[in-house]
Chain A
Amino acid sequence: MFNYILRRILYAFPLLLGVNILTFVLFFIVNSPDDMARMQLGQKHVTEQAIDNWKLQRGYQLPLFINQQETGLNKIKQTIFYQKSLRLFVFDFGISDSGRHIGADIQQRMWPSLAIALPSLLVGLLVNISVALMMVLFRQSYLEFGAIVLCIIIMSISSLFYIIGGQFIMGKLLMLVPISGYDTGVNAFKFLILPVLISVISGVGAGARWYRTLFLEEIEQDYVRTARAKGLTETQVLFKHVLKNAMIPILTGVVVVLPLLFMGSLITESFFSIPGLGSYTIDAINSQDFAIVRAMVFLGSVLYIIGLLLTDISYTLVDPRVRLS
């Protein structure tokens, strides 16, 4: 297993380099260093001299990929790409174009994102599995039919509707929770109720139907028939056998998103004024802050790779037949 993990880590390097090059090219196709300077300096009284000065201070006066004026290795080293990318691989994200230390910003903003995403995932998982099991338990009854219709209705509605509707009903009409906001520590609890509730409700349609399909697939298996023949009750069959055997696809879906929970959700964080990482990248794109865009894309890629690796490892834990080689 160690060799396997090492190999996967080594594979990650060219992958991350590729992502980095792609981000770099895409960003600089749309924005030039001059545009970035103008964005940071504002719209009024901006002169060429001020732009040149801004670029010089932040290292954007260099060529993008190849510096023809240099010789040897410096042709590569004295470029924006090299200067801005190399330190990423040691997780030194540097200073944003507006002068903030990106690493410190990420550390500060990832916790609120996690505070929403983790309970949303766990509660959502619990609710989705429970509803799916209920549907399977009451299959071919009015309850299952009603639940499927409800799930489809829930799936068909935009998540934005749940957010605005939830804020209107729970925050404005019933006045049970704050409409938006956030606080640290225990005070965060009252701000998390509504976003977590909305996240769970908006996700229950797709989630419950997916898990129901998994459970129905399992319930037709021979071992289930055997369990029933042994005289186990339907609940025992479902909870002790079907649920356990359906764990692999459930795990695949869950473990892969675990690291990405840090990255937050743009819409939820924006509407609930949660100071997470969700809006960090979008704000950076809007303000043409390449340093943040590059750092966040890199971080996202690293976390995704970690997620996939964890998924592979988790297979071996839930299914003894799987071996990593």
Chain B
Amino acid sequence: MIVWQKIIFFIFFSVLLSACNESVLNNPYPKGIEGKQSVLYSSFSERPKHLDPAKAYSSNEYAFIGQIYEPPFQYHFLKRPYELEPLTAKHMPEVHYFDALGQPVAETSTSDEVAYSDYIIEIRSGIKFQPHPALAINKQGQYLYHQLGTEELADIQLLADFKQTGTRELTAADYVQQIKRLVHPEISSPIAELMKQYIVGLGDYAQIIKDKPRTALRDNPIKGVEVLDKYRYKIRIKGKYPQFIFWLAMPFFAPMPWEADAFYSQKGLIDKNITLDWQPLGTGPYMLEENNPNLRMIMLKNPNFHIEFYPSEGEPEDKESGLLEDAGKRLPFIDKAIYLLEKETIPYWNKFLQGYYDGSGIASDSFDQAVQFTGDGEAALTESMQAQGIQLQTAVNSSTFYMGFNMLDSIIGGSSEQARKLRQAIAIAVDYEEYISIFNNGRGVSAQGVIPPGIFGYSAGERGVNHYVYDWHNGQIQRKPLAAAIKLMQEAGYANGIDPITGESLVLYLDTAASGPDDRARLNWYRKQFAKLGIQLVIRATDYNRFQQKMRNGNAQIFMWGWNADYPDPENFFFLLYGPNAKAVHGGENAGNYQNPEFDRLFKQMSYMSNGPERLAVIRQMQELIRYDAPWVFGLHPKSFSLYHSWYHNLKPNLMANNSLKYRRIEAQKRKQLRRQWNQPVLWPVVLIILLLIALILPAMRSFQRRAKETIK
């Protein structure tokens, strides 16, 4: 046998052997990755920038750190409306209020009477950190890896290269350490400046430690945050800020052992990209086993995770939908969670259909393949999805997208009757129901105000209708006819959209950072909406930086913006219209620079109130004010559609919780069987192609040989 024949035989034999070894050929996971473990397969499209809980603030970052770090409180997995409950805390915090003289005042005191609020948090004993080299100590109690030398560093490329790990009990000091970290200049926490406004002494502390290393945080006390004993700490807040409790359920306030800063501050580790921003250290149900966000991230069950059980209470329908089947069982259920990088939606979607991902969102490309709308407008799965046993879950997000008017603008802004009627007319003309249908595949609900469904203060039905834009007809909401908008235009002095000053069509400007080819149709649609009123809408598309600059300077006229809730409280939405938050004036989040003294007064009042009928009444007054003033065209609240395979359980959308992974459960055996059934390789086309090639080449070869043997006669 000559050499090339041997090579071909070897390759053929190897391929055959590998085909025999694997039940399916297209499995993207290494053989034996699961073993006897329960594994979740998921994906991410963009690498998380930060995994340090003091820095991370994006949903794709929270997907990981939410499972690793544990703030003192969490949102109940099943109960709605969203309810906070203790996580590492023993109970909800004790809150004490004091006046300017330091005398205690009642909880019902107004914000003017309260100078300070003390939050006393007690954590549970016996909670331990995950095994980590930063906590490894020798018999003498000295830390093994806090002063690494060149020789020790030579063998270290990954965190897993450290031979020893250690743990210790969680203490109140770890929570205080993290609060100090928020203002350390090396860390650049996105909420540092915000928290300086609330936490007593945090601003001064930033000055104290600005030239000091992170390792100095432990020895420098902070005035307003105090360790009371091993398990209790106190945070002093300026004035009354009831929403602070929601911040305490976010990873910003998760515990950080001082050892983490000591360990990760070593230059030798930083040079090897072994940093706290990349390798977390927490007490949560999972720990990051592998962090290669260019390929995959793997989380393993934390062997030191404290005792926590699946909730036994929920909403009435939770029992019917099987969400209470695991009630009282110890968490977490999943042993390993593997997240693969998938930048493109097409391969991601196909791998989900093959069973290689347990859940998936729905990109617009595959929407029609997955979802169809029934006669009464309800979303349902297509037959092919149902045949695979796929489940559909929908939830209206706690976010809002709107078209804003710059209230500082001389034409569209201000509180004049003319400008207000012009804005109201535009609000009627811009048909967001049509927008949702065309551009969002029906995934969204048109907004009636600033608050999305699921947040206290949102009213459904007739009570929640924006009567300046919609009518209530036969139990259904209906956008006002265009004639109403045209009438408003006439009253505003722009009959048929003609600007009386120029005698031509009124020209308005939409500033946007959306300038890609995909955005063209969307922008044209906006032009058409304004054209209904005879207004010429000029699109001023620019890059995002310039757009941001225009917004900061108050130079934009009309813009589109959105907001995702930090926490489930109306204050987190109304503050987008609070006067002292005006972007152009104070650099805040009020992008339209809306100012209304009455609204501002009500906002302050509402912010300090507890949820109840009185607060609801104030919220309704505020909604009425902004509907009348129309500083925004209330756009839409997006609706997320998610698909899950039949083997995936305990799925209930919780838009506030970041730590839902511990509740999820996978039926690994069922997945294995279905994957095998769905992925049997089809080999005959390959054989056919080979035969076709042979059939094509053979006659040519023969013809060539014949020609080569020809002689001139």
Closest to B707 in A: A234
| A187 with B347: CB separation less than 8 A | no
Asked if A177 is at the interface of the complex by the 8 Å CB criterion, the answer is yes
Asked if B275 is at the interface of the complex by the 8 Å CB criterion, the answer is yes
Stretch of A95-103, A198-206, A207-215 lying at the B interface: A95-103
| A273 with B26: CB separation less than 8 A | no
With contacts A53-B185, A174-B682 known, is A45 near B190, CB below 8 A?
A: yes
Within 8 A of B (CB), among A165-201: 167-168, 171-183, 187, 190-191
Chain B interfacial positions (CB closer than 8 Å to A)? 18, 24-28, 30, 47, 49-50, 57-58, 185-186, 188, 190-194, 270-273, 275, 277-278, 292, 294-295, 340-344, 346-348, 350-351, 353-354, 543, 545, 548, 566, 587, 589, 679-683, 685-686, 700, 703-704, 708
A176 to B24: give the CA distance in the assembly, Å.
8
Q: 15 A-B pairs, CB-CB below 8 angstroms?
A: A35-B545, A35-B548, A42-B190, A46-B190, A53-B185, A104-B272, A172-B350, A175-B24, A175-B354, A176-B683, A178-B351, A179-B26, A179-B354, A180-B28, A181-B340
Asked if A143 is at the interface of the complex by the 8 Å CB criterion, the answer is yes
With contacts A104-B271, A179-B26, A275-B341 known, is A57 near B186, CB below 8 A?
A: yes
| A31 with B545: CB separation less than 8 A | yes
Asked if A65 is at the interface of the complex by the 8 Å CB criterion, the answer is no
Q: Which residues of B contact A175 (CB under 8 A)?
A: 24-26, 354, 679-682
A100 to B293: give the CA distance in the assembly, Å.
12
Number of contact residues on A: which range applies? 35 or more
Q: Which of B190, B292, B353 contacts A50 (CB 8 A)?
A: B190
| A108 with B294: CB separation less than 8 A | yes
Closest Cβ–Cβ distance, residue A140 to chain B (whole Å): 11
Asked if A44 is at the interface of the complex by the 8 Å CB criterion, the answer is yes
Given contacts A45-B190, A101-B271, 16 further A-B contacts (CB under 8 A): A31-B545, A38-B548, A40-B49, A42-B57, A50-B192, A57-B185, A99-B275, A101-B270, A171-B347, A174-B681, A174-B685, A174-B686, A175-B25, A175-B354, A179-B354, A271-B344
Q: Which residues of A contact B703 (CB under 8 A)?
A: 141
Q: Which residues of B contact A173 (CB under 8 A)?
A: 682
A42 to B188: give the CA distance in the assembly, Å.
11
A30 to B683: give the CA distance in the assembly, Å.
52
Q: Which residues of B contact A172 (CB under 8 A)?
A: 350, 353-354
Closest Cβ–Cβ distance, residue B302 to chain A (whole Å): 25
Asked if A32 is at the interface of the complex by the 8 Å CB criterion, the answer is yes
Closest Cβ–Cβ distance, residue B435 to chain A (whole Å): 23
Q: Which residues of B contact A45 (CB under 8 A)?
A: 190-191, 193-194, 589
Closest Cβ–Cβ distance, residue B53 to chain A (whole Å): 14
| B273 with A54: CB separation less than 8 A | no
Asked if A74 is at the interface of the complex by the 8 Å CB criterion, the answer is no
A134-173 toward B: CB 8 Å interface, digit per residue (1/0)? 0001100101000000000000000000001001100111
| A104 with B351: CB separation less than 8 A | no
Asked if A109 is at the interface of the complex by the 8 Å CB criterion, the answer is yes
Q: Which residues of B contact A85 (CB under 8 A)?
A: none
A113 to B353: give the CA distance in the assembly, Å.
28
Closest Cβ–Cβ distance, residue A239 to chain B (whole Å): 14
| B545 with A47: CB separation less than 8 A | no
Closest Cβ–Cβ distance, residue A56 to chain B (whole Å): 7
| A99 with B277: CB separation less than 8 A | yes
The residue in A45, A168, A272 that gathers the most chain B C-beta atoms within 10 A of its C-beta is A45
Q: Which residues of B contact A190 (CB under 8 A)?
A: 18, 25
| A178 with B708: CB separation less than 8 A | no
Closest Cβ–Cβ distance, residue B159 to chain A (whole Å): 14
| A234 with B351: CB separation less than 8 A | no
The residue in B25, B186, B292, B294 that gathers the most chain A C-beta atoms within 10 A of its C-beta is B294
| B566 with A44: CB separation less than 8 A | yes
Q: Which of A48, A50, A164, A174 contacts B346 (CB 8 A)?
A: A164
Q: Which residues of B contact A54 (CB under 8 A)?
A: 188
Closest to A101 in B: B273
| A187 with B548: CB separation less than 8 A | no
Q: Which of B272, B292, B350 contacts A167 (CB 8 A)?
A: B350
With contacts A183-B30, A273-B347 known, is A104 near B273, CB below 8 A?
A: yes
Asked if A221 is at the interface of the complex by the 8 Å CB criterion, the answer is no
A138 to B566: give the CA distance in the assembly, Å.
70
Q: Which residues of B contact A275 (CB under 8 A)?
A: 292, 294-295, 341
Q: Which of A47, A233, A283 contacts B587 (CB 8 A)?
A: A47
With contacts A101-B272, A104-B271, A272-B347 known, is A178 near B190, CB below 8 A?
A: no
Asked if A279 is at the interface of the complex by the 8 Å CB criterion, the answer is yes
| A191 with B682: CB separation less than 8 A | no
A112 to B25: give the CA distance in the assembly, Å.
21
Closest Cβ–Cβ distance, residue B208 to chain A (whole Å): 15
| A179 with B341: CB separation less than 8 A | no
Q: Which residues of B contact A168 (CB under 8 A)?
A: 350
| B545 with A57: CB separation less than 8 A | no
Closest Cβ–Cβ distance, residue A205 to chain B (whole Å): 17
